[in-house]
Amino acid sequence: MADGNRGSAVDELFVYGTLRAGQPGRRLILPYLRSSTPATTQGRIVALRGGYPGLLDDPDATARVIGELIEVAEPGRALAAFDDYEGDEYHRVRREVVLHNGQRAQPWCYVLRSAPNPGDAEPIAGGDWIAYTAGYKK
């Protein structure tokens, strides 16, 4: 992804959880991966009981969620595969992200369709799924 020559939002995806590098879902992205760069978005991320994260679409949230902006090849096939992976609990929306160099983008992002029931999710302090899960591996 060269500065000033960004792909369209259709072929970019912000990932914040199990699709990030080093996570179990990354295998799904690898066949389509063109590039990846660190990025953040504003919002709230929670750990759900099933052992995976969810991003809540909260326009008032000011916390930072850490992830990656990935550019995908074959966006039609890639996004269909990602939609299947995420399932009905999430919907794909465009969301503003900020790259490490300050550049902004509007990629796709999977957001929870609804807030989890109380007790079914734990807020992730610091907004970083990988750091959160690393705390359990010690």
> What are the DSSP calls for 39-55, one per residue?
EEEESEEEEETTS-EEE
In a domain, 1, yes or no: no
Q: How far apart are CA 86 and CA 110, in angstroms?
A: 8
In angstroms, rounded to a whole number, what is the distance separating the alpha carbons of residues 12 and 14? 7
User: Is residue 105 domain-resident?
Assistant: yes
DSSP state of 21: T
Structural domain count, the chain: 1
What is the pLDDT, as a whole number, of residue 61?
75
What backbone phi and psi angles, to 5 degrees, belong to 79? -65, -35
Give me 37's structure tokens. Answer: 């760069």
Q: Which of 7-21, 30-44, 57-71 has the highest mean pLDDT?
A: 30-44
In this predicted structure, the answer to whether residue 1 has a pLDDT above a threshold of 50 is no
User: pTM surpassing 0.85?
Assistant: yes
Q: Per the domain annotation, does 3 fall within a domain?
A: no
Convert the pLDDT of each residue in 20-54 to its tens digit. Answer: 999 999 999 999 999 999 999 999 999 998 889 99
Q: Mean pLDDT across the chain, nearest whole number? A: 89
**CATH code for the domain of 126:** 3.10.490.10
Nearest residue to 128 via CA among 49, 17, 27: 17
Confidence at residue 15, expressed as pLDDT on a 0 to 100 scale: 97
* Structural domain range at position 92: 9-134
Strands 44-48 and 53-56, sheet pairing: antiparallel
Q: What angle do CA 13, 19, 23 make, to 5 degrees?
A: 155
